[in-house]
């Protein structure tokens, strides 16, 4: 049986979501049409909007559906610049490219706020950057996609507010995995993506607080109260709403994945004591295990496990395959041989005991074979 342990890239779509989406796809109607068919599609969308609001402690009217998480993040950054008068962008050194690259592409000055050795943003350096002149948009992820560290977004948000800036939280890896409270965090913007919590790929949402500056990102019809033009993906949105509702109802069992994560970690450390567990000692997502294996390249590990029918990843799905220095390795100040050997094993709601056993056996056997030809530093 193939074993899927790359749930942070995209997790299993929930069967109830597939059933709901196929019902919605079989129905006629554009949610913007006034006739009964259109209104039925609209009802599907508004149900999802309420589900998202309830799951994340936001008002349904704060929810803007988008074509993916990346689009939601782009919409927030563009809005903050064009409608919010932002002059400087602050992003942590471990933000996803959907934030980091969008910030760089904006043409504004982008300042990177470093993380400590465990992968947690340095709040003192954020405060220092905020003390310099120029209105700021600060972007910080709630949970990191590669190593799973949970960032102090509430504290960071308070600092940003105090400095009169705008605050964007990338909650794409956090929503449906740990409790997320948009109101308590006090962010101006927050992004989520359905395929990270059991919904379909290609649908996301931006939560924008009532006074958050918003601009038109794409032009066309007046959908989403003029904030995001384009016919709504009623089936995808319905799937997103149900998936998030179910994921949030199951947060306790998701938290239990930490037992399997710890078991894999212990078995790997026993077989390879020089392996570094990234994020160790920091608050982390319960499902994510990131390892730096000196002398064994991440891509080679992925291939070795793929031969055993087990899917893991070297870094994030978006950046793996690119021949460039690992951004995470640089951010965490890892020596080259560790930085090259980073892999991520991520569990999901559909993972089971057999997956964990298969990973432990395959990884430790492959390591033993590989270690015969490894140049290991320490
Ligand atoms: N932000 C984070 C933290 C992510 O993990 C991802 C996807 O991996 C994204 C943004 C992009 O989301 P999407 O794939 O929906 O565009």
Residues 284, 278: Cα–Cα separation, whole Å: 10
Cβ contact 222:229 at 8 Å = yes
Question: What is the pLDDT averaged over residues 266-294?
Answer: 97
Whole-number Å distance, alpha carbon 190 to ligand 1 midpoint, is 12
Q: Is the pLDDT of residue 91 over 90?
A: yes
Q: Is the pLDDT of residue 315 over 80?
A: no
Sort residue 88 into left (φ over 0), alpha (ψ -120 to 50) or beta. Answer: beta
On average, the pLDDT of the chain sits at: 95
Lowest mean pLDDT among 18-32, 214-228, 329-343: 214-228
pLDDT at position 171, please? 98
Cβ contact 135:173 at 8 Å = no
Whole-number Å distance, alpha carbon 86 to ligand 1 midpoint, is 23
- Atom 14 in ligand 1: residue holding the nearest Cα: 69
Written as one string, the DSSP assignment of 140-198 is EESB-TTT-BBP-HHHHHHHHHHTT-EEEEE-TTTTTTS---HHHHT-SEEEEEGGGTT
pLDDT at position 316, please? 53
Ligand 1 contacts CB of residue 91 (under 6 A):
no
Ligand 1 contacts CB of residue 344 (under 6 A):
no
Question: What is the pLDDT averaged over residues 51-70?
Answer: 98
pLDDT at position 255, please? 98
Q: Is the pLDDT of residue 279 over 70?
A: yes
Model confidence over 93-121: pLDDT tens digits? Answer: 999 999 999 999 999 999 999 999 999 99
Model confidence over 333-372: pLDDT tens digits? Answer: 999 999 999 999 999 999 999 999 999 999 999 999 999 8
Query: Given the CA of residue 204, which atom of ligand 1 is nearest to it?
Result: 15
Whole-number Å distance, alpha carbon 38 to ligand 1 midpoint, is 31
Cβ contact 341:293 at 8 Å = yes
Model confidence over 151-176: pLDDT tens digits? Answer: 999 999 999 999 999 999 999 999 99
pTM: 0.96
- Atom 12 in ligand 1: residue holding the nearest Cα: 69
Q: Are strands 310-311 and 3-4 parallel, antiparallel or unpaired?
A: parallel
Confidence grade of residue 1 (pLDDT, cut at 50, 70, 90): confident
Ligand 1 contacts CB of residue 11 (under 6 A):
no
Ligand 1 contacts CB of residue 313 (under 6 A):
no
Ligand 1 contacts CB of residue 346 (under 6 A):
no
Residues 36, 34: Cα–Cα separation, whole Å: 7
Ligand 1 contacts CB of residue 204 (under 6 A):
yes
Tell which one of 193, 285, 346, 348 to mutate to probe ligand 1, the residue whose CB is within 8 A of the most ligand atoms.
193
Lowest mean pLDDT among 86-95, 269-278, 318-327: 318-327
Lowest mean pLDDT among 84-93, 316-325, 333-342: 316-325
Question: What is the pLDDT averaged over residues 17-25?
Answer: 98
Q: Is the pLDDT of residue 317 over 80?
A: no
Strand partners, 138: 90, 167
- Atom 7 in ligand 1: residue holding the nearest Cα: 9
Question: What is the pLDDT averaged over residues 236-260?
Answer: 98
Q: Is the pLDDT of residue 325 over 90?
A: no
pLDDT at position 376, please? 52
Whole-number Å distance, alpha carbon 253 to ligand 1 midpoint, is 23
pLDDT at position 242, please? 98
pLDDT at position 378, please? 42
Tell which one of 172, 175, 194, 198 to mutate to probe ligand 1, the residue whose CB is within 8 A of the most ligand atoms.
172
pLDDT at position 323, please? 42
Residues 75, 283: Cα–Cα separation, whole Å: 29
Angle at which helices 234-249 and 36-56 cross, to 10°:
30
Query: Given the CA of residue 70, which atom of ligand 1 is nearest to it?
Result: 16
Ligand 1 contacts CB of residue 172 (under 6 A):
yes
């Amino acid at each position: 049986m193939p074993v899927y342990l790359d749930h942070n890239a995209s997790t299993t779509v929930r069967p109830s979501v597939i059933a709901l989406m196929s019902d919605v796809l079989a129905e006629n109607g554009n949610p913007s049409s006034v006739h009964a068919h259109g209104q039925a599609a609209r009802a599907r969308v508004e149900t999802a909007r309420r589900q998202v609001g309830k799951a994340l402690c936001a008002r349904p009217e704060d929810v803007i559906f988008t074509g993916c998480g990346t689009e939601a993040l782009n919409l927030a950054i563009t809005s903050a610049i064009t409608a919010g008068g932002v002059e400087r962008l602050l992003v942590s050194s471990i933000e996803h490219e959907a934030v980091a690259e969008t910030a760089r592409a904006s043409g504004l000055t982008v300042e990177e706020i470093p993380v400590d050795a465990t992968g947690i943003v340095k709040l003192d350096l954020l405060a220092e950057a905020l003390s310099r002149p120029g209105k700021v948009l600060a972007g910080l992820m709630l949970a990191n996609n590669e190593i799973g560290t949970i960032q102090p977004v509430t504290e960071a948000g308070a600092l940003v507010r105090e400095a009169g800036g705008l605050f964007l939280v990338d909650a794409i890896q956090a929503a449906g995995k740990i409790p997320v409270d948009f109101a308590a965090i006090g962010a101006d913007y927050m992004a989520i993506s359905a395929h990270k919590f059991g919904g379909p790929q290609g649908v996301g949402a931006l939560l924008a607080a009532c006074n958050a500056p918003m601009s038109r990102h794409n032009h066309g019809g007046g959908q989403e109260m003029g904030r995001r033009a384009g016919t709504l993906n009623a089936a995808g949105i319905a799937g997103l709403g149900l998936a998030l509702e179910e994921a949030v109802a199951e947060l306790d069992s998701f938290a239990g994945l930490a037992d399997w994560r710890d078991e894999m970690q212990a078995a790997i450390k026993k077989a390879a004591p020089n392996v570094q567990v990234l994020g160790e000692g920091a608050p982390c997502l319960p499902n994510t295990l990131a390892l730096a294996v000196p002398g064994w390249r991440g891509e080679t590990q992925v291939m070795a496990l793929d031969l055993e029918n087990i899917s893991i990843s070297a870094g994030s799905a978006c950046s793996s395959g690119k021949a460039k220095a690992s951004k995470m390795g640089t951010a965490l100040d890892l020596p080259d041989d560790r930085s090259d050997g980073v892999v991520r094993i991520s569990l999901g709601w559909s993972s089971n005991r057999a997956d964990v056993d298969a990973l432990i056996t395959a990884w430790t056997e492959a390591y033993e074979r590989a270690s015969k030809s490894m140049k290991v530093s320490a």
